[in-house]
Chain A
Amino acid sequence: MIFNKKGYLHFMFKRTLLILLFLLLSMPMLAHGDLTIRIAEKTIEISEDPNNFELYYQRGLLYQQHMEFDYALEDYLKSQFLGNTNKALHYQIAEVHFLTAAYTEALQSIEWYLELDSKDLSAKKLQAQILFQLQSHKKSLEGYRYVIHNMKDIRPEDVLEYCNIILAENNKNYKGALEAVEYGLDQLGPHTISLQLKKLDYLKDSGQTEKVLEQYNYFILEYNRNEFWYYKKAKYLTEINRPHEAFISLKLASVAIEQLNAKFKNMSPVIELKEQIKSLESSINNQKS
């Protein structure tokens, strides 16, 4: 048999890779199946082309997905060291710093990014989030306001975060927070539930009693099933010392439950609700007498 040099080299190469992979997989990071394998594959690519900054960047992304932020950062920095000047890299570095609560470093990186692309909304948003963590509430709010009003497809989560920043900047500014909620409802649809729920919270927190009751009525009227809302309204009415109205609302809650199909009546949240109604009713009665 003729000795095939090329075949031998190929064999050696393969063997080295296998050993390398074996070592890699012996490390305790075997959580995410697919991802682990892809990281290992990327590691092999890097071993073949160790000065390729793109490969480090790609493996960094995989590490980040795998929530191994330290490794991710190491790869990003290596990629930068090897000459990667893409703005995306700055963004990732900022994001990893942000995720590991290294906010000062995160701010530095995102500002580099924004020097290259000052209008990028994702980056602006991340910057606002970093500033928020650094207690720069005013600047954070300014940035987030820009994002909220310029982003094409905002989500309820964005509006809620924005509201949060508004109140962090001034904990009495419920007017501003409620306006932001209204803006969100306007953009996302008037019945967006997470925003309507937040509106309720803010009305309560700012003591706007009549508006709170209106908001409860909104839920009662808007909903298919309203037993929970009747009860919550009753509870609020007792808190603001309007026991008779609370009493009527509890009656409505009980009737709403009675009208449910047996299946729903037998669900634990409804059974629990019945108990809560009973106990609130008796505490109202005690108050009365």
Chain B
Amino acid sequence: MIKKSTFLLAALCSVVSIAQTYNVDLPNVSAVAVTNPVGLPQHSASVTVVRGPYLQSGTPTSVVVKWRTDIPTQSVVHYGKTLKSLSKKASNSALTTEHEVALSGLFPDTKYYFNVGNKSEVLSKSDSGEMYIITPPTAGTKQFVRAWILGDAGTANNNQREVRDAYYDYVEDAPQNKGKTDMMLFLGDNAYGSGTDEQYQNALFDIYDDMLKKSVAWSCLGNHDGKSADSATQSGPYYDIFTFPTNAQAGGTASGTEAYYSFDYANIHFIILDSHHTSRAVGGAMYNWTKADIQNTKQDWIVTLFHHPIYTKGSHDSDTEDRLIEMRQNFMPMMEANGVDLILNGHSHSYERSFFLNGHYGFAHTFNPDEISEGGHTVGENGHGDGKVDSNGAYQKTSAAAEGAVYITTGSAGKISGGDLNHQAMSVSLNQLGSCVMEVEDDGRGGQNLTVKFIRENDDIEDYFTINKSGIALKADSTASGLISGGLIYDANKGEVKLKVDKNDRLKKVNIYNNIGELVKKSRKESINVGKLPKGLYIIEVITKNKGYTESITIE
């Protein structure tokens, strides 16, 4: 009943506004941003950059720079490690207004300044050095990472700008890595009402112009983007604007589609799903890809994003809406079992943040916080706490327990739409404007903290929590060299395997199999030269008069 009345109220309000003024909240149809070439006389600026430049598909060694000009021209990117000497060049001589240039051969974790233009002139640059690419470190590296998370931002109004400015204020004064935003993560509905090219101009490019020039933007598809984009053909503005890795160029597993894909950044694996257009069925192409992808990562953290929320009682209801229920029931058991740490959703225009959860796939009212045993709904002693380091303590994820994830529905970067906001699995539910920042950093004890903060439009940090993971530095040792077991010694320097055979036993034969199980060497001797075998994992099968056993060695 409460729910119904809320809807009624919301509906009535919207009708009253229509009836009174017929004035819908239209986005500011501002003129497209014009970047004038600094230092060039106006009359020579016949070509103007009207969109971007913006950065896409960043990898440790490459990035895609995109921009739009008002008239067709060539595409040239100058870049270099110092602002004064942009000595490298990547270009495309075809005349176009939609420019897309891939820079490759970059060094990981390196800052490159750049400008864009055509063959005869530079059309967009920053003299103060505010246009740059910082490549990610090699996958697996432990370092500070900051991601800015924006859900349902695309209203193109002052709400959106205030939320943006609050984050800009935050990052300028951030306690560490001041001014550095490693990536923007858009949770869909990036441009209302239907993600058209013009709406994207108003709600994405005009608003985040500064950030898009120095931080790679990633996104999942929202239902409003989905109105003009067609995932079935990967066409429409959403797919034209964004360039995502379909072939695991940025790490992960090849999906063959921009609708869902993954990438690595430092020691974090990101999985981006399409909860709107693509089949959410178990055994469907997206499900199979997700499972293969998540079971193929060795990264320390796994973060997933998709538009439709797993848990919400905001302007949408995860107990009644099919996409939300399907994502929860079909995808979450598999993703939780394989160690997902953080789930980022939008769609409801509110901020709802869960406890430290595992195994809650039912309706809101079936949530039982007291069940903390394995497979229960909250994980760990303080899993039902607030997750704040200075209060109930950070959520703990030890290497012994793979379970535990925080779910955030954060779709209020452009507007708020209320709702009951009483989902039982949520630690915090707020009808407030804001965006989130995720920061991963060392905890000083060999582990890492993943902290997310919700930054309101008025600069207040209204919620925060931390997931602590211990033992991240500890890698399992591979069987490189030395005594493997009682029966075998591998001397890597000599490239030699020595078998120890009991006095009253007799060696009959030794078979060596490579990493795909092919027999690559046979021997009857107790000392075997393996120095010429290629690098990799080998199984050594030893058969004596009395017994048979296997050992493994890794040749490096």
Contacts and interface: CB of A to CB of B under 8 A. Distances in A.
Asked if A and B bind, the verdict is yes
Interface of A: 13-14, 17-18, 21-22, 25, 30-34, 36-37, 40-41, 44, 67, 121-122, 125, 151-153, 155-158, 160, 184, 188-195, 197, 217, 220-221, 223-225, 228, 233, 245, 248-249, 251-252, 255-256, 258-269
A249 B337 CA distance: 24
B242 to A, nearest CB: 13
23 contacts: A21-B12, A21-B15, A31-B321, A33-B317, A40-B11, A155-B232, A156-B255, A156-B285, A157-B284, A193-B256, A193-B288, A194-B255, A194-B285, A194-B289, A224-B297, A225-B295, A255-B552, A262-B399, A263-B339, A263-B402, A264-B298, A264-B402, A267-B339
B515 A252 contact: yes
Contacts of B247: 189, 191-192
A191 B248 contact: yes
Nearest to A245: B517
A261 B476 contact: yes
Interface string B304-332: 00000000000111001110000000000
Contacts of B316: 32-34
Contacts of B19: 13-14, 17, 44
B292 interface: yes
A267 B337 contact: yes
Interface extent on B, as a size class?
35 or more
A185 B419 CA distance: 45
Given A193-B255, A261-B399, A248 B513 contact: yes
Contacts of A197: 288, 292
Interface in B389-418: 399-402, 417
B15 A17 contact: yes
B84 interface: no
A255 B256 contact: no
Closest 10 CB pairs of A and B: A192-B256, A188-B256, A189-B247, A262-B399, A191-B254, A194-B285, A153-B234, A267-B402, A255-B552, A217-B516
A94 to B, nearest CB: 15
Interface string B1-16: 0011001101110111
Interface string B179-213: 00000000000000000000000000000000000
Given A14-B20, A151-B233, A194-B256, 14 more contacts: A22-B8, A34-B315, A37-B7, A155-B257, A157-B279, A157-B285, A192-B255, A193-B253, A194-B289, A225-B295, A245-B517, A251-B552, A252-B513, A264-B402
Given A228-B295, A260-B476, A262-B400, A41 B516 contact: no
A190 B479 CA distance: 32
A231 B536 CA distance: 18
Greatest chain A CB density within 10 A among B417, B479, B516 is at B516
Contacts of B417: 33-34
A263 B419 CA distance: 38
B283 to A, nearest CB: 10
B342 to A, nearest CB: 15
Contacts of A233: 517
A156 B246 CA distance: 11
A267 B16 CA distance: 54
Given A153-B233, A155-B231, A188-B246, A251 B15 contact: no
Contacts of B296: 223-225
Contacts of B485: none
B295 A220 contact: no
Interface string B339-355: 10000000010000000
Contacts of A269: 295, 337-338
Contact of B402 (A122, A125, A152, A266): A266
A152 B18 contact: no
Contact of A268 (B18, B239, B337): B337
